Structure 1
Amino acid sequence: MYLKRFVELFIVYLISFVVGSFVYGIAFVTTNGLLILAGGLIGYCVLVIPLTIMTIRKMTKRATASGEHQPAQSRFNQVLAALPSYFYLATSDQTDQVSNSIVTFAQSEHHENVFYVATDPRTKRVQNILVHEQVAIASLADSELGLRFSSNHARARVIKGKPAITKLLKTNPTLTGLSANLSNQAILEITLTSVLIESFRDAPEIVQLQQQKTSN
């Protein structure tokens, strides 16, 4: 509450208090003037203090919801925010033949180093991951600064079947945006242990990624 609101509230309260006092008569007000003044101040404090506490709590909740009190983004998440949500995914088959394709991804709601890709279960990338879990990824470069990230330290697993996908969606409901029919598709869960961040301006930077504990 601003000072102006306190003053306005006090004026309204004072008017109502004076009117109420005069109901008892002029003689009562004259005789008990100091008592009335003391009672008015006490009543005002009793009224304002709870309102002030509730206002502060409301403002704190609003600031938290808007992210004002959230910890600063990690370096990797800052880079992710500046780039589109797709990257090149490289997989290999039994003969070490590499297949490369561009895919749309969604980041885990609980771990900054875990990403999900929805795909047809018959694709080459799915068949390759079932054989070789090690994969590599590379983002597209920002046109202005050439900002990009890549990683050869990545492993993937295939999540298939309605029960498994339903269980995953319970902890990551935003993944429904990957596809309109996830239950009939395969979801690739890609976990990174480190990434290389590069740009035209800055020296290459290797960022180690740690899987954070989730509250779920």
Structure 2
Amino acid sequence: MPESKHPDACRIGVAFIEAQLTTLFAYASLLSDWIDRGAPPPDFAKAAPLLARKRSHPEAHTHSEDGTPMKSPPPEDALSWPSFDTADKRIAFALIVPCTNAILAVAEYFDVHRLSASRAPEVQFLMRLRDAAVNGNTFSIPADEYMPHAAYAGLIVEPTLDGTLLFSDGVRPGFIEFGDTVGLLRYLTKLLKSMQSAISGGDAG
């Protein structure tokens, strides 16, 4: 994706991260009873009205396996909600994807707007989490690789993490938890606000 020099990158970034935080809170709140007590999971059928809202026409691209156009699309496989016997496994299933998505989205924003070049330990921490997220939820850090200091709230990314899971899979422990993801994103909003203030102060001077 091309880089951007948007003059309000910090301000827009704050709004972008806050939207990610809102989504994480909403997602965790909706699934908290299922995670903690094994309560009934969400009913996928309730998504039907939203799934019906579309502007595309998939039938125009419907083909059989041999490429022959078909008059109607084949029935789609219904999604099912898996069951797990422990809260740790339910947490892993429910929260890895939204946390990973938030990390990837914010890291991409930092990359596009050249904010990832910052040597702030928390920014480098974010970028290392991104690397682990796209590497199958696993850190891959060669021992001889140069790495800027990457840390947040006592958590440090270092070569000894090589092979460690970013988030727990419900069986093996992970490097960070849901709360760490939220805390990091909150800190990054404060960092961007301070950067915006510095830029505004410089312009005023």
Task: Give the TM-score taking structure 2 as reference length.
Answer: 0.20
The structure with the largest strand share of the pair is 1
The higher-RCO structure (CA 8 Å, 6+ apart) is 2
The structure with the largest helix share of the pair is 2
Task: Give the TM-score taking structure 1 as reference length.
Answer: 0.19
